[in-house]
């Protein structure tokens, strides 16, 4: 491969910019110049500005006893994996990943089988992990509601009524006002400048809250009683929050502050994993679609909920809970 190192730098940049991101890790090993160009980040900024970037689905992967990020390319129907997180940390089924620019923020890790407030950051440009600031809340636990905003901020809320915001660029956490009540299970979303938290309040009673980061105050929106069972996952899309249960799909209109029934999931699925949205809604599920257990990633259009498989992994039927957090990266 020595002949590649004599190519002009602008030609190399053009070549690499046309290759899908999931193959960039292999290109780093062509020669030192190619590695330097890829890790500089210049080509990714140009890809985004020109509209030629890839939009990839990221999720936490604990297969093969490794803790790393799996990246799914819907266009090429391929999966690539990051280097493992530093060995002293492990993912749990309560871990969360959120994308801010070309960085992935991972929260809810454990260290020596105990929850830790350590923030781990994976840089998609350099393909490296780094340790961020500690969450400034004692005994925050695993139960987190979190989301990212366009202002490069990460919002979290925990079961002790505590909430905080993380500035990714400054690597700094700041406490928010306490929530009106504690949470035992929740999901967080950033919609129209507000940090929304959907949380369980009682057995089948769910409560929607939102925090105005400017006014720094919480507002209780609405409770709703589910028809049969609690939701298994939530997703925010186009100003609405969708709740996916085993027997029904509920929709929350943030403008009207109302929950309503939106549809039904496929009847042959046993469970729905966590969700994330980007034009389509991607979900991890297990089920018996063809008479045998399967594990996979579903995709559906939020307007009509027509479902289809995009990845199937017949070998997994019990470890799906480690994939409870999906997010989208554009690079």
Domain boundaries, the chain: 1-53, 54-267+317-330
CATH of domain 54-267+317-330: 2.120.10.80
Confidence of residue 317 (pLDDT cuts 50, 70, 90): very low
pLDDT tops 60 at residue 175:
yes
Helix then strand then coil, % of the chain, to nearest 5? 15, 45, 40
* Residue linked to tokens 């089924």: 93
CA distances 123 to 85, 129, 240, Å, are: 12, 6, 30
User: Which tokens belong to 41?
Assistant: 């980040």
pLDDT tops 70 at residue 183:
yes
Confidence of residue 132 (pLDDT cuts 50, 70, 90): very high
pLDDT tops 50 at residue 321:
no
* Residue linked to tokens 């700041």: 174
For the chain, the distance separating the N- and C-terminal CA atoms, rounded to the nearest angstrom, is 26
- CB distance 325 to 96 below 8 Å: yes
Q: State which H helix or E strand residue 310 sits in.
A: strand 307-313
Distance CA 193, CA 213 (A): 8
> Considering only 265-274, 290-299, 307-316, which range has the smallest mean pLDDT?
290-299
**CA-CA-CA-CA torsion sign (299, 300, 302, 305):** negative
Give per-residue pLDDT as tens, 115-129. 888 899 999 988 889
Higher pLDDT, 313 or 182: 182
Inter-helix orientation angle 32-40/9-17, to 10°? 60
Q: State which H helix or E strand residue 262 sits in.
A: strand 258-263
Give the DSSP per-residue string, 50-82. Answer: HT---EEEEEEE-GGG--EEEEEETTTTEEEEP
User: In the β-sheet with 128-131, what is the strand arrangement from edge to edge?
Assistant: 96-100, 103-107, 120-123, 128-131
Neighbours of 136 (CB within 10 A): 14
User: Which tokens belong to 184?
Assistant: 């035992």
Higher pLDDT, 120 or 215: 120
What does the pLDDT average to over 216-238?
68
Question: Which positions ≥6 away from 189 have C-beta within 8 Å?
Answer: 147, 195, 196, 198, 234, 236, 241
User: In the β-sheet with 258-263, what is the strand arrangement from edge to edge?
Assistant: 233-237, 240-244, 249-253, 258-263
| Secondary structure tally for the chain: helices H, strands E | 4, 26
Average pLDDT, the chain: 76
Phi, psi of 322, rounded to the nearest 5 degrees: -75, -5
What does the pLDDT average to over 206-220?
82
pLDDT tops 80 at residue 4:
no
Higher pLDDT, 291 or 262: 262
What does the pLDDT average to over 197-206?
62
Give per-residue pLDDT as tens, 40-79. 888 888 888 888 888 888 888 877 677 888 888 878 878 8
What does the pLDDT average to over 94-117?
86
């Amino acid at each position: 491969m020595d002949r590649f190192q004599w190519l002009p730098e602008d030609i190399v940049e053009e070549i690499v910019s046309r290759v899908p991101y999931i193959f960039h890790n292999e290109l780093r090993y062509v020669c030192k110049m190619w590695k330097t160009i890829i890790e500089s980040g210049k080509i990714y900024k140009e890809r985004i500005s020109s509209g030629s970037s890839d939009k990839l689905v990221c999720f936490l992967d604990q297969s093969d006893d490794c803790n790393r990020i799996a990246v799914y390319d819907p266009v090429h129907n391929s999966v690539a994996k990051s280097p493992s997180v530093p060995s002293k940390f492990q993912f749990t089924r309560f871990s969360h990943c959120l994308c801010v620019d070309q960085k992935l923020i991972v929260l809810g890790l454990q260290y020596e089988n105990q929850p830790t407030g350590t923030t781990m950051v994976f840089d998609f440009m350099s393909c490296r992990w780094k340790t961020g600031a500690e969450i400034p809340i004692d005994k925050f636990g695993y139960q987190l509601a979190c989301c990212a905003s366009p202002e490069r901020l990460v919002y979290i809320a925990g079961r002790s009524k505590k909430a905080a915001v993380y500035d990714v660029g400054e690597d700094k956490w700041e406490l928010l006002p306490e929530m009106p009540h504690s949470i035992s299970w929740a999901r967080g979303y950033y919609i129209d400048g507000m940090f929304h938290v959907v949380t369980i309040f009682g057995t089948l009673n769910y409560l929607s809250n939102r925090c105005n980061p400017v006014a720094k105050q919480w507002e209780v929106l609405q409770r709703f009683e589910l028809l049969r069972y609690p939701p298994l996952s939530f997703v925010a899309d186009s100003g609405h929050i969708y709740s996916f249960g085993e027997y029904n799909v509920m929709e929350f209109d943030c403008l009207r502050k109302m929950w309503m029934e939106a549809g039904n999931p496929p009847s042959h699925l046993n469970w729905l994993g966590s969700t994330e949205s980007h034009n389509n809604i991607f979900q991890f599920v297990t089920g018996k679609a063809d008479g045998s257990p399967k594990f996979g990633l579903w995709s559906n259009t939020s307007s009509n909920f027509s479902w289809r498989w995009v990845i199937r992994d017949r070998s997994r039927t019990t470890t799906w809970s480690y994939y409870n957090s999906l997010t989208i990266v554009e690079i």
